Structure 1
Amino acid sequence: MTSGVPYAEVIGDPVGHSKSPLIHNFWLAKLGITGVYRTCHVAPEELQAYLEHRREDPVWTGCNLTIPHKIAALALVDEIDQSAADIGAANCIVPKNGKLVAFNTDGSGVDAAIPGVHNSVCIIGAGGAARAAIPTLDVMCALDIRVVARDPIKARHALSSLPYDLAFYPFAEAAEAMRNVDGIINASPLGMTGQWPMPDNILAALETVAPDAYVFDMVYSPLKTGLLQKAEAIGLTAVDGLIMLVGQAGGAFKLFFGEPAPREHDAELRGLLTA
Protein backbone atom coordinates (compact mmCIF):
# COMPACT_ATOMS: atom_id res chain seq x y z
CA MET A 1 0.00 0.00 0.00
CA THR A 2 1.16 3.55 -0.77
CA SER A 3 -0.05 5.35 2.36
CA GLY A 4 -1.66 8.72 1.67
CA VAL A 5 -0.30 9.05 -1.87
CA PRO A 6 -2.74 8.60 -4.78
CA TYR A 7 -1.72 5.62 -6.88
CA ALA A 8 -2.76 3.63 -9.92
CA GLU A 9 -1.31 0.41 -11.22
CA VAL A 10 -1.29 -2.13 -14.02
CA ILE A 11 -2.43 -5.63 -13.16
CA GLY A 12 -1.89 -8.83 -15.08
CA ASP A 13 -0.40 -12.30 -15.15
CA PRO A 14 2.41 -11.82 -16.12
CA VAL A 15 2.96 -8.12 -15.47
CA GLY A 16 6.65 -7.67 -14.69
CA HIS A 17 7.45 -6.74 -18.30
CA SER A 18 5.11 -3.75 -18.29
CA LYS A 19 6.47 -0.35 -19.27
CA SER A 20 3.33 1.43 -18.10
CA PRO A 21 4.89 2.54 -14.78
CA LEU A 22 7.69 4.30 -16.65
CA ILE A 23 5.17 6.10 -18.88
CA HIS A 24 2.76 7.23 -16.16
CA ASN A 25 5.45 8.18 -13.65
CA PHE A 26 7.22 10.17 -16.38
CA TRP A 27 4.02 12.14 -17.02
CA LEU A 28 3.34 12.60 -13.29
CA ALA A 29 6.81 14.10 -12.88
CA LYS A 30 6.41 16.39 -15.89
CA LEU A 31 3.13 17.74 -14.52
CA GLY A 32 4.29 17.92 -10.90
CA ILE A 33 1.37 15.74 -9.76
CA THR A 34 1.70 13.92 -6.45
CA GLY A 35 1.03 10.30 -7.25
CA VAL A 36 2.61 7.02 -8.28
CA TYR A 37 1.92 4.28 -10.79
CA ARG A 38 3.16 0.72 -10.29
CA THR A 39 2.71 -2.92 -11.27
CA CYS A 40 0.72 -5.49 -9.31
CA HIS A 41 0.74 -9.18 -10.16
CA VAL A 42 -2.82 -10.53 -10.07
CA ALA A 43 -3.58 -14.10 -11.09
CA PRO A 44 -6.99 -14.86 -12.67
CA GLU A 45 -8.36 -16.43 -9.50
CA GLU A 46 -7.31 -13.34 -7.52
CA LEU A 47 -9.02 -10.72 -9.67
CA GLN A 48 -12.30 -10.49 -7.76
CA ALA A 49 -10.58 -10.22 -4.38
CA TYR A 50 -8.16 -7.63 -5.76
CA LEU A 51 -11.00 -5.39 -6.95
CA GLU A 52 -12.96 -5.78 -3.71
CA HIS A 53 -9.87 -4.80 -1.72
CA ARG A 54 -8.96 -1.82 -3.92
CA ARG A 55 -12.54 -0.55 -3.85
CA GLU A 56 -12.04 0.21 -0.16
CA ASP A 57 -8.73 2.06 -0.63
CA PRO A 58 -9.36 5.84 -0.74
CA VAL A 59 -6.03 6.64 -2.46
CA TRP A 60 -6.36 4.05 -5.24
CA THR A 61 -7.25 5.90 -8.45
CA GLY A 62 -7.64 2.89 -10.73
CA CYS A 63 -5.83 0.24 -12.72
CA ASN A 64 -4.92 -0.80 -16.20
CA LEU A 65 -5.73 -4.38 -17.16
CA THR A 66 -3.51 -6.59 -19.25
CA ILE A 67 -3.47 -10.32 -20.04
CA PRO A 68 -5.60 -12.19 -18.99
CA HIS A 69 -8.08 -9.79 -17.30
CA LYS A 70 -9.52 -7.58 -20.04
CA ILE A 71 -12.69 -9.59 -20.60
CA ALA A 72 -13.12 -11.25 -17.19
CA ALA A 73 -13.12 -7.89 -15.41
CA LEU A 74 -16.37 -6.81 -17.08
CA ALA A 75 -18.35 -9.20 -14.89
CA LEU A 76 -16.82 -7.76 -11.71
CA VAL A 77 -17.44 -4.01 -12.09
CA ASP A 78 -20.51 -1.90 -11.29
CA GLU A 79 -20.68 0.03 -14.55
CA ILE A 80 -19.31 -0.41 -18.07
CA ASP A 81 -18.52 2.72 -20.02
CA GLN A 82 -19.52 2.72 -23.69
CA SER A 83 -15.86 2.56 -24.69
CA ALA A 84 -15.59 -0.87 -23.06
CA ALA A 85 -19.11 -2.01 -23.97
CA ASP A 86 -18.49 -1.44 -27.69
CA ILE A 87 -15.38 -3.61 -27.58
CA GLY A 88 -16.51 -6.15 -25.00
CA ALA A 89 -13.28 -5.75 -23.05
CA ALA A 90 -11.77 -3.30 -20.58
CA ASN A 91 -8.24 -2.00 -20.20
CA CYS A 92 -9.01 0.39 -17.32
CA ILE A 93 -11.05 0.27 -14.13
CA VAL A 94 -11.62 3.52 -12.26
CA PRO A 95 -13.44 4.17 -8.96
CA LYS A 96 -16.20 6.77 -9.32
CA ASN A 97 -18.63 7.68 -6.54
CA GLY A 98 -18.14 4.37 -4.78
CA LYS A 99 -18.54 2.34 -7.96
CA LEU A 100 -16.01 0.57 -10.15
CA VAL A 101 -16.33 1.64 -13.79
CA ALA A 102 -14.72 -0.17 -16.74
CA PHE A 103 -13.28 1.78 -19.68
CA ASN A 104 -11.26 0.93 -22.77
CA THR A 105 -8.65 3.28 -24.22
CA ASP A 106 -6.99 0.65 -26.43
CA GLY A 107 -8.85 1.88 -29.51
CA SER A 108 -7.06 5.21 -29.46
CA GLY A 109 -3.75 3.38 -29.20
CA VAL A 110 -4.56 1.18 -32.20
CA ASP A 111 -5.65 4.22 -34.17
CA ALA A 112 -2.31 5.93 -33.45
CA ALA A 113 -0.33 2.87 -34.51
CA ILE A 114 -1.98 1.96 -37.81
CA PRO A 115 -0.37 3.86 -40.71
CA GLY A 116 -3.35 4.98 -42.79
CA VAL A 117 -6.52 3.38 -44.12
CA HIS A 118 -6.31 -0.06 -45.71
CA ASN A 119 -8.98 -2.33 -47.11
CA SER A 120 -7.80 -5.73 -45.86
CA VAL A 121 -6.21 -6.65 -42.54
CA CYS A 122 -5.24 -9.93 -40.91
CA ILE A 123 -5.26 -10.10 -37.11
CA ILE A 124 -3.34 -12.74 -35.16
CA GLY A 125 -5.24 -13.58 -31.97
CA ALA A 126 -8.83 -13.26 -30.77
CA GLY A 127 -8.59 -11.93 -27.20
CA GLY A 128 -9.20 -8.54 -25.66
CA ALA A 129 -6.55 -6.81 -27.77
CA ALA A 130 -8.14 -8.10 -30.97
CA ARG A 131 -11.54 -6.89 -29.77
CA ALA A 132 -10.05 -3.40 -29.40
CA ALA A 133 -8.49 -3.43 -32.85
CA ILE A 134 -11.46 -4.62 -34.90
CA PRO A 135 -13.87 -1.69 -34.29
CA THR A 136 -11.02 0.74 -35.03
CA LEU A 137 -10.30 -1.07 -38.29
CA ASP A 138 -13.97 -0.90 -39.22
CA VAL A 139 -14.03 2.86 -38.63
CA MET A 140 -10.94 3.10 -40.84
CA CYS A 141 -12.88 1.30 -43.62
CA ALA A 142 -11.15 -2.07 -43.49
CA LEU A 143 -13.81 -4.10 -45.30
CA ASP A 144 -11.94 -7.42 -45.26
CA ILE A 145 -10.86 -8.48 -41.75
CA ARG A 146 -9.33 -11.92 -41.28
CA VAL A 147 -8.48 -13.56 -37.95
CA VAL A 148 -5.77 -16.19 -37.51
CA ALA A 149 -6.13 -18.16 -34.29
CA ARG A 150 -4.90 -21.41 -32.81
CA ASP A 151 -8.52 -22.56 -32.53
CA PRO A 152 -10.77 -20.77 -35.07
CA ILE A 153 -13.96 -22.16 -33.50
CA LYS A 154 -13.10 -20.68 -30.10
CA ALA A 155 -11.99 -17.47 -31.80
CA ARG A 156 -15.31 -17.16 -33.64
CA HIS A 157 -17.16 -17.63 -30.36
CA ALA A 158 -14.92 -15.12 -28.54
CA LEU A 159 -15.60 -12.44 -31.15
CA SER A 160 -19.23 -13.35 -31.91
CA SER A 161 -20.66 -10.34 -30.06
CA LEU A 162 -18.88 -7.91 -32.40
CA PRO A 163 -21.15 -6.82 -35.28
CA TYR A 164 -18.61 -7.44 -38.02
CA ASP A 165 -18.21 -9.99 -40.79
CA LEU A 166 -14.94 -11.71 -39.94
CA ALA A 167 -13.16 -14.63 -41.64
CA PHE A 168 -11.36 -17.15 -39.39
CA TYR A 169 -8.31 -19.28 -40.17
CA PRO A 170 -6.21 -21.75 -38.17
CA PHE A 171 -2.47 -21.20 -37.79
CA ALA A 172 -1.86 -23.87 -40.44
CA GLU A 173 -3.63 -21.67 -43.02
CA ALA A 174 -1.82 -18.45 -42.15
CA ALA A 175 -0.45 -18.05 -45.69
CA GLU A 176 -3.97 -18.12 -47.13
CA ALA A 177 -5.23 -15.70 -44.48
CA MET A 178 -2.43 -13.23 -45.16
CA ARG A 179 -2.42 -13.45 -48.93
CA ASN A 180 -2.39 -9.94 -50.46
CA VAL A 181 -3.60 -8.21 -47.28
CA ASP A 182 -2.68 -4.58 -46.68
CA GLY A 183 -1.89 -5.00 -42.99
CA ILE A 184 -0.98 -7.54 -40.32
CA ILE A 185 -1.72 -6.96 -36.62
CA ASN A 186 -0.42 -9.24 -33.89
CA ALA A 187 -2.99 -8.95 -31.09
CA SER A 188 -1.73 -12.06 -29.29
CA PRO A 189 1.07 -12.53 -26.72
CA LEU A 190 3.05 -14.64 -29.20
CA GLY A 191 6.60 -13.35 -29.38
CA MET A 192 6.42 -11.60 -26.00
CA THR A 193 9.22 -12.16 -23.52
CA GLY A 194 8.31 -15.25 -21.51
CA GLN A 195 5.61 -16.38 -23.97
CA TRP A 196 5.65 -18.76 -26.93
CA PRO A 197 7.49 -17.46 -30.02
CA MET A 198 5.56 -16.59 -33.15
CA PRO A 199 5.17 -19.85 -35.13
CA ASP A 200 7.54 -20.24 -38.07
CA ASN A 201 4.73 -20.77 -40.56
CA ILE A 202 3.17 -17.42 -39.60
CA LEU A 203 6.52 -15.69 -40.05
CA ALA A 204 6.87 -17.38 -43.45
CA ALA A 205 3.33 -16.30 -44.39
CA LEU A 206 4.45 -12.64 -44.34
CA GLU A 207 5.91 -13.38 -47.76
CA THR A 208 2.35 -13.54 -49.13
CA VAL A 209 1.12 -10.08 -48.07
CA ALA A 210 0.85 -7.04 -50.34
CA PRO A 211 4.29 -5.54 -51.05
CA ASP A 212 3.41 -2.22 -49.38
CA ALA A 213 1.73 -3.77 -46.33
CA TYR A 214 2.37 -2.77 -42.73
CA VAL A 215 3.01 -5.17 -39.84
CA PHE A 216 1.93 -3.86 -36.42
CA ASP A 217 2.89 -5.91 -33.36
CA MET A 218 1.11 -4.97 -30.14
CA VAL A 219 3.88 -6.73 -28.22
CA TYR A 220 6.50 -4.28 -26.95
CA SER A 221 8.75 -6.56 -24.89
CA PRO A 222 10.94 -7.18 -26.79
CA LEU A 223 10.55 -4.10 -28.94
CA LYS A 224 11.84 -5.87 -32.05
CA THR A 225 9.84 -9.07 -32.04
CA GLY A 226 10.49 -11.93 -34.43
CA LEU A 227 7.46 -10.80 -36.42
CA LEU A 228 8.82 -7.27 -36.86
CA GLN A 229 12.32 -8.53 -37.65
CA LYS A 230 10.88 -10.67 -40.43
CA ALA A 231 8.75 -7.79 -41.70
CA GLU A 232 11.76 -5.47 -41.92
CA ALA A 233 13.87 -8.17 -43.58
CA ILE A 234 11.43 -8.43 -46.48
CA GLY A 235 10.85 -4.69 -46.81
CA LEU A 236 7.47 -4.27 -45.10
CA THR A 237 6.57 -1.32 -42.85
CA ALA A 238 7.11 -2.43 -39.24
CA VAL A 239 5.23 -0.72 -36.38
CA ASP A 240 6.20 -1.58 -32.81
CA GLY A 241 3.93 -1.86 -29.78
CA LEU A 242 5.20 1.27 -28.02
CA ILE A 243 3.07 3.49 -30.26
CA MET A 244 -0.12 1.79 -29.11
CA LEU A 245 1.11 1.53 -25.53
CA VAL A 246 1.72 5.26 -25.21
CA GLY A 247 -1.50 6.08 -27.09
CA GLN A 248 -3.75 4.05 -24.81
CA ALA A 249 -1.81 5.23 -21.75
CA GLY A 250 -2.70 8.83 -22.56
CA GLY A 251 -6.41 8.13 -22.18
CA ALA A 252 -5.86 6.07 -19.04
CA PHE A 253 -3.70 8.78 -17.43
CA LYS A 254 -6.55 11.31 -17.67
CA LEU A 255 -8.93 8.81 -16.04
CA PHE A 256 -6.51 8.03 -13.21
CA PHE A 257 -5.02 11.44 -12.44
CA GLY A 258 -7.50 13.95 -13.86
CA GLU A 259 -5.10 15.76 -16.21
CA PRO A 260 -4.29 15.25 -19.89
CA ALA A 261 -1.01 13.45 -20.48
CA PRO A 262 1.75 15.89 -21.55
CA ARG A 263 2.23 14.36 -25.00
CA GLU A 264 4.58 17.15 -26.07
CA HIS A 265 7.28 15.08 -24.36
CA ASP A 266 6.69 11.94 -26.47
CA ALA A 267 10.14 11.98 -28.10
CA GLU A 268 11.86 12.10 -24.71
CA LEU A 269 9.57 9.39 -23.38
CA ARG A 270 10.27 7.07 -26.30
CA GLY A 271 13.98 7.54 -25.70
CA LEU A 272 13.52 6.35 -22.13
CA LEU A 273 11.36 3.42 -23.22
CA THR A 274 13.91 2.23 -25.74
CA ALA A 275 17.07 2.86 -23.70
Structure 2
Amino acid sequence: MGFHFKLIGYPITHSLSPWIHEQFLERSNLQGTYKIDEFKPEDSFEENIKRLKNEQIDGFNVTVPYKQAIIPFLDILDDTARKMGAVNTVAYKNGKWIGYNTDGVGYVRSLESKYPNLFNNKENRVLVIGAGGAARAIYYALDQYEFSNIDIANRTKATAEGIIEMAHSPRRTEILSLEEAEKNAGSYELIIQTTSVGMKPNQEQAIISSNNIKLNTIVSDIVYQPVLTKFLRDSAKKGAMIHQGHTMLLYQGQYAFEIWTNKKINIGDMDTKLKDILEGR
Protein backbone atom coordinates (compact mmCIF):
# COMPACT_ATOMS: atom_id res chain seq x y z
CA MET A 1 0.00 0.00 0.00
CA GLY A 2 2.76 2.45 0.82
CA PHE A 3 2.79 5.77 2.66
CA HIS A 4 0.56 8.69 1.82
CA PHE A 5 1.74 12.21 2.69
CA LYS A 6 0.52 15.69 1.81
CA LEU A 7 1.25 19.39 2.08
CA ILE A 8 -1.56 21.77 3.03
CA GLY A 9 -1.44 25.54 2.70
CA TYR A 10 -2.15 28.32 0.22
CA PRO A 11 -0.74 29.14 -2.28
CA ILE A 12 1.49 26.08 -2.66
CA THR A 13 1.40 25.00 -6.30
CA HIS A 14 5.10 25.84 -6.71
CA SER A 15 6.23 24.11 -3.49
CA LEU A 16 9.38 22.00 -3.64
CA SER A 17 8.18 19.68 -0.88
CA PRO A 18 6.85 17.03 -3.32
CA TRP A 19 10.25 16.82 -5.03
CA ILE A 20 12.06 16.60 -1.68
CA HIS A 21 9.84 13.85 -0.26
CA GLU A 22 9.71 11.87 -3.48
CA GLN A 23 13.52 11.82 -3.29
CA PHE A 24 13.33 10.63 0.31
CA LEU A 25 10.89 7.85 -0.60
CA GLU A 26 13.13 6.71 -3.41
CA ARG A 27 16.30 6.81 -1.30
CA SER A 28 14.67 4.87 1.52
CA ASN A 29 13.22 2.23 -0.84
CA LEU A 30 9.74 2.96 0.47
CA GLN A 31 6.58 3.07 -1.61
CA GLY A 32 4.42 6.14 -1.21
CA THR A 33 3.10 9.45 -2.46
CA TYR A 34 3.44 13.10 -1.46
CA LYS A 35 0.79 15.41 -2.88
CA ILE A 36 -0.18 19.07 -2.66
CA ASP A 37 -3.60 19.87 -1.19
CA GLU A 38 -4.41 23.58 -1.45
CA PHE A 39 -6.85 24.83 1.17
CA LYS A 40 -8.28 27.99 -0.39
CA PRO A 41 -9.00 30.77 2.12
CA GLU A 42 -12.61 31.09 0.93
CA ASP A 43 -13.26 27.42 1.74
CA SER A 44 -14.07 26.08 5.21
CA PHE A 45 -10.84 25.05 6.92
CA GLU A 46 -12.78 22.78 9.27
CA GLU A 47 -14.45 20.96 6.38
CA ASN A 48 -11.12 20.54 4.62
CA ILE A 49 -9.63 19.04 7.77
CA LYS A 50 -12.57 16.62 8.11
CA ARG A 51 -11.97 15.53 4.53
CA LEU A 52 -8.27 15.07 5.25
CA LYS A 53 -9.01 12.90 8.29
CA ASN A 54 -11.27 10.68 6.20
CA GLU A 55 -8.45 10.11 3.72
CA GLN A 56 -6.45 8.26 6.40
CA ILE A 57 -3.10 9.68 5.34
CA ASP A 58 0.05 8.91 7.31
CA GLY A 59 1.16 12.50 7.75
CA PHE A 60 1.21 15.96 6.26
CA ASN A 61 3.16 19.19 6.27
CA VAL A 62 1.50 22.51 7.05
CA THR A 63 2.59 25.84 5.64
CA VAL A 64 1.20 29.37 5.61
CA PRO A 65 -1.38 30.46 6.50
CA TYR A 66 -2.40 27.43 8.58
CA LYS A 67 0.45 26.73 11.02
CA GLN A 68 -1.64 28.06 13.93
CA ALA A 69 -5.10 27.20 12.56
CA ILE A 70 -4.31 23.47 12.54
CA ILE A 71 -3.60 23.29 16.29
CA PRO A 72 -7.19 22.96 17.60
CA PHE A 73 -7.73 19.94 15.33
CA LEU A 74 -4.77 17.97 16.71
CA ASP A 75 -4.85 15.43 19.53
CA ILE A 76 -1.30 16.00 20.80
CA LEU A 77 1.39 18.66 20.44
CA ASP A 78 5.04 17.87 21.03
CA ASP A 79 6.94 20.22 23.34
CA THR A 80 8.60 22.21 20.56
CA ALA A 81 5.36 22.83 18.68
CA ARG A 82 3.71 23.92 21.93
CA LYS A 83 6.47 26.44 22.66
CA MET A 84 6.45 27.72 19.07
CA GLY A 85 2.67 28.00 18.97
CA ALA A 86 2.93 26.71 15.42
CA VAL A 87 2.87 23.33 13.67
CA ASN A 88 4.42 22.45 10.31
CA THR A 89 4.33 18.66 10.49
CA VAL A 90 1.52 16.31 11.53
CA ALA A 91 1.87 12.55 11.99
CA TYR A 92 -0.90 9.99 12.38
CA LYS A 93 0.18 7.56 15.11
CA ASN A 94 -1.93 5.11 17.12
CA GLY A 95 -5.14 6.78 16.03
CA LYS A 96 -3.96 10.25 17.05
CA TRP A 97 -2.93 13.32 15.09
CA ILE A 98 0.32 14.64 16.58
CA GLY A 99 1.71 18.09 15.75
CA TYR A 100 5.40 18.94 15.47
CA ASN A 101 7.52 21.91 14.48
CA THR A 102 10.63 20.93 12.51
CA ASP A 103 11.89 24.45 11.72
CA GLY A 104 14.51 24.79 14.45
CA VAL A 105 15.84 21.24 14.32
CA GLY A 106 15.93 21.38 10.52
CA TYR A 107 17.90 24.61 10.57
CA VAL A 108 20.44 23.38 13.12
CA ARG A 109 20.92 20.09 11.26
CA SER A 110 21.60 22.00 8.04
CA LEU A 111 24.11 24.27 9.79
CA GLU A 112 25.81 21.43 11.63
CA SER A 113 26.16 19.41 8.43
CA LYS A 114 28.31 22.16 6.90
CA TYR A 115 30.04 23.61 9.96
CA PRO A 116 30.20 20.87 12.62
CA ASN A 117 33.09 22.49 14.48
CA LEU A 118 30.93 25.50 15.30
CA PHE A 119 29.10 23.42 17.88
CA ASN A 120 32.26 22.34 19.70
CA ASN A 121 32.83 25.76 21.25
CA LYS A 122 30.06 27.04 23.52
CA GLU A 123 31.80 30.43 23.70
CA ASN A 124 30.97 31.18 20.06
CA ARG A 125 28.77 34.26 19.98
CA VAL A 126 25.58 34.10 17.93
CA LEU A 127 23.42 36.87 16.47
CA VAL A 128 19.89 36.11 15.24
CA ILE A 129 18.44 38.84 13.03
CA GLY A 130 14.65 38.98 13.08
CA ALA A 131 12.00 38.01 15.61
CA GLY A 132 9.38 36.13 13.60
CA GLY A 133 8.45 32.45 13.66
CA ALA A 134 11.70 31.30 12.06
CA ALA A 135 13.82 33.33 14.49
CA ARG A 136 11.86 31.91 17.40
CA ALA A 137 12.38 28.33 16.23
CA ILE A 138 16.08 28.82 15.49
CA TYR A 139 16.73 30.54 18.83
CA TYR A 140 14.96 27.71 20.68
CA ALA A 141 16.93 25.02 18.82
CA LEU A 142 20.29 26.77 19.33
CA ASP A 143 19.46 27.21 23.00
CA GLN A 144 19.68 23.44 23.41
CA TYR A 145 23.40 23.67 22.57
CA GLU A 146 23.98 26.17 25.39
CA PHE A 147 25.98 28.77 23.51
CA SER A 148 27.06 31.42 25.99
CA ASN A 149 25.57 34.29 23.97
CA ILE A 150 22.67 34.29 21.53
CA ASP A 151 21.69 37.89 20.82
CA ILE A 152 18.65 39.01 18.84
CA ALA A 153 18.42 42.04 16.55
CA ASN A 154 15.10 43.35 15.28
CA ARG A 155 13.51 46.54 14.01
CA THR A 156 11.28 46.64 17.09
CA LYS A 157 13.00 45.41 20.24
CA ALA A 158 9.73 44.68 22.03
CA THR A 159 8.85 41.98 19.49
CA ALA A 160 12.06 40.12 20.31
CA GLU A 161 11.57 40.11 24.08
CA GLY A 162 9.16 37.17 24.11
CA ILE A 163 11.71 34.92 22.43
CA ILE A 164 14.13 35.12 25.36
CA GLU A 165 11.54 33.61 27.70
CA MET A 166 11.99 30.26 25.94
CA ALA A 167 15.62 29.86 27.03
CA HIS A 168 15.91 26.68 29.14
CA SER A 169 19.12 27.79 30.86
CA PRO A 170 20.30 31.15 32.17
CA ARG A 171 22.21 33.12 29.58
CA ARG A 172 22.94 36.66 28.60
CA THR A 173 20.86 37.50 25.54
CA GLU A 174 20.92 41.10 24.47
CA ILE A 175 18.25 42.59 22.25
CA LEU A 176 19.71 44.96 19.68
CA SER A 177 18.40 47.36 17.11
CA LEU A 178 19.42 46.69 13.51
CA GLU A 179 21.77 49.67 13.73
CA GLU A 180 23.43 48.21 16.82
CA ALA A 181 23.69 44.81 15.13
CA GLU A 182 25.39 46.34 12.10
CA LYS A 183 27.85 48.24 14.28
CA ASN A 184 28.69 45.19 16.45
CA ALA A 185 28.64 42.54 13.70
CA GLY A 186 32.37 41.92 14.13
CA SER A 187 31.87 40.45 17.60
CA TYR A 188 29.99 37.35 16.43
CA GLU A 189 31.12 33.96 15.14
CA LEU A 190 27.66 33.16 13.71
CA ILE A 191 25.13 35.60 12.22
CA ILE A 192 21.74 34.28 11.11
CA GLN A 193 19.40 36.35 8.92
CA THR A 194 15.83 35.06 9.45
CA THR A 195 13.67 37.74 7.81
CA SER A 196 12.31 37.89 4.24
CA VAL A 197 14.57 40.84 3.36
CA GLY A 198 16.52 40.06 0.20
CA MET A 199 13.95 37.62 -1.18
CA LYS A 200 12.94 37.87 -4.84
CA PRO A 201 11.89 40.27 -6.32
CA ASN A 202 13.83 42.46 -3.83
CA GLN A 203 17.09 40.55 -4.10
CA GLU A 204 19.27 43.67 -4.00
CA GLN A 205 18.20 44.45 -0.42
CA ALA A 206 20.12 43.43 2.69
CA ILE A 207 18.91 43.56 6.29
CA ILE A 208 22.18 45.12 7.51
CA SER A 209 25.49 46.09 5.94
CA SER A 210 28.23 43.44 5.96
CA ASN A 211 30.99 46.05 6.37
CA ASN A 212 31.87 45.14 9.97
CA ILE A 213 31.63 41.35 9.67
CA LYS A 214 34.97 39.76 10.53
CA LEU A 215 36.99 37.15 8.65
CA ASN A 216 35.69 33.55 8.97
CA THR A 217 32.40 34.50 10.62
CA ILE A 218 29.69 32.05 9.56
CA VAL A 219 26.91 34.09 7.93
CA SER A 220 23.63 32.30 7.32
CA ASP A 221 20.52 33.46 5.46
CA ILE A 222 17.31 31.42 5.47
CA VAL A 223 16.07 33.11 2.26
CA TYR A 224 16.46 30.61 -0.60
CA GLN A 225 15.16 32.62 -3.54
CA PRO A 226 17.73 33.73 -4.58
CA VAL A 227 19.99 30.95 -3.31
CA LEU A 228 22.81 33.49 -2.90
CA THR A 229 21.34 36.63 -1.32
CA LYS A 230 22.96 40.05 -1.35
CA PHE A 231 23.66 39.66 2.37
CA LEU A 232 25.56 36.43 1.70
CA ARG A 233 27.38 37.84 -1.33
CA ASP A 234 28.50 40.93 0.57
CA SER A 235 29.53 38.86 3.60
CA ALA A 236 31.59 36.49 1.46
CA LYS A 237 33.50 39.48 0.09
CA LYS A 238 34.45 40.28 3.69
CA GLY A 239 35.87 36.78 4.14
CA ALA A 240 32.84 35.24 5.83
CA MET A 241 31.90 31.58 5.44
CA ILE A 242 28.34 31.35 4.15
CA HIS A 243 25.40 29.05 4.79
CA GLN A 244 22.55 29.06 2.28
CA GLY A 245 18.86 28.84 3.12
CA HIS A 246 17.84 26.07 0.72
CA THR A 247 19.62 23.52 2.90
CA MET A 248 17.21 24.30 5.74
CA LEU A 249 14.35 23.12 3.47
CA LEU A 250 16.05 19.77 3.02
CA TYR A 251 16.77 19.15 6.68
CA GLN A 252 13.30 20.27 7.80
CA GLY A 253 11.95 17.71 5.37
CA GLN A 254 14.44 15.11 6.57
CA TYR A 255 13.19 15.50 10.14
CA ALA A 256 9.51 15.35 9.08
CA PHE A 257 10.18 12.20 7.04
CA GLU A 258 11.96 10.70 10.04
CA ILE A 259 8.93 11.43 12.24
CA TRP A 260 6.62 9.74 9.73
CA THR A 261 8.71 6.69 8.79
CA ASN A 262 11.42 6.29 11.48
CA LYS A 263 13.99 6.49 8.66
CA LYS A 264 16.67 9.20 8.58
CA ILE A 265 17.68 9.93 5.01
CA ASN A 266 21.22 10.91 4.03
CA ILE A 267 20.85 14.25 2.20
CA GLY A 268 23.91 13.57 0.06
CA ASP A 269 23.77 15.30 -3.31
CA MET A 270 20.23 16.64 -2.78
CA ASP A 271 21.82 19.93 -1.66
CA THR A 272 23.31 20.47 -5.13
CA LYS A 273 20.25 19.16 -6.97
CA LEU A 274 17.89 21.49 -5.07
CA LYS A 275 20.21 24.43 -5.66
CA ASP A 276 20.15 23.70 -9.42
CA ILE A 277 16.35 23.57 -9.40
CA LEU A 278 16.09 26.90 -7.54
CA GLU A 279 18.62 28.64 -9.77
CA GLY A 280 16.68 27.47 -12.83
CA ARG A 281 13.50 29.17 -11.66
Q: TM-score, normalised by structure 1?
A: 0.80
Partner of 1:207, secondary structure, is coil
Could you tell me which residue of structure 2 aligns to residue 246 of structure 1?
250
Partner of 1:236: 240
Distance, in Å, in 2 between the alignment partners of 1:10 and 1:29 is 18
- 1:113-124 to structure 2, matched below 5 A, reads 113-114=110-111, 115=115, 116-117=118-119, 119-124=124-129
Given that 2:182 and 2:208 are in contact with CA atoms closer than 8 Å, whether structure 1 keeps it comes out as no
- Which position in structure 1 is the counterpart of 2:55? 57
Partner residue of 1:15? 12
Contact 2:59 2:92 in 1 (8 A): yes
- Once the two structures are superposed, residues 210-261 of structure 1 have per-residue CA deviations (whole angstroms, 9 ceiling, x without a partner) of 32211112222321122222222222010112332222212211333x2414
Equivalenced residue count is 264
Counterparts in 2 of 1:44 and 1:5: CA distance versus 1, 3 Å:
farther
SS in 1 for 2:247: helix
Quickly say closer, same or farther: Cα 1:193–1:199, change in 2 above 3 A: closer
Residue identity opposite 1:188 in structure 2: T
Match in the other structure for 1:274 = 275
Alignment map for 1:138-217 (pairs within 5 Å):
138-157=143-162, 159=163, 161-163=165-167, 166-176=173-183, 178-193=185-200, 197=203, 199-200=205-206, 202-204=207-209, 206-217=210-221
* Counterpart for residue 78 of structure 2: 81
5+ unaligned residues in a row in structure 2: which ranges? Answer: 277-281
Contact 2:110/2:248 (8 A) holds in 1: yes
Question: What runs of 5+ residues in structure 1 fail to find an aligned partner?
Answer: none
Cα gap change, 1:182 to 1:48, in 2 (>3 Å): farther
Please point out which of 259, 262, 265 is paired with 2:265: 262
Q: Which residue of 1 aligns with 2:279?
A: none
CA deviation string 1:149-201 (max 9, x = no partner): 233223324x264136543334444414634111111222333335x55744x
Residue type at the aligned position of 2:224:
Y
8 Å contact from structure 2 (residues 104, 134) kept in 1: no
Secondary structure of the residue that 2:86 maps to in structure 1? coil
Match 1:26 to one of 9, 23, 30: 23
Separation (CA, whole Å) in 2 of partners of 1:171 and 1:47: 38
Partners of 1:100 and 1:198 lie apart in 2 by 42
- Which residue of structure 2 aligns with residue 129 of structure 1? 134
**What's the counterpart of residue 228 of structure 2?**
224
Q: Work out the CA distance in 2 between the residues paired with 1:225 and 1:214.
A: 14
When residues 141 and 255 of structure 1 are mapped into structure 2, their CA distance, relative to the original with a 3 A threshold, is: closer
Structural RMSD (CA): 3.0
Deviations 1:97-121 (A, max 9, x none): 4432111233332222332135321
Q: Percent of aligned pairs with the same residue?
A: 28
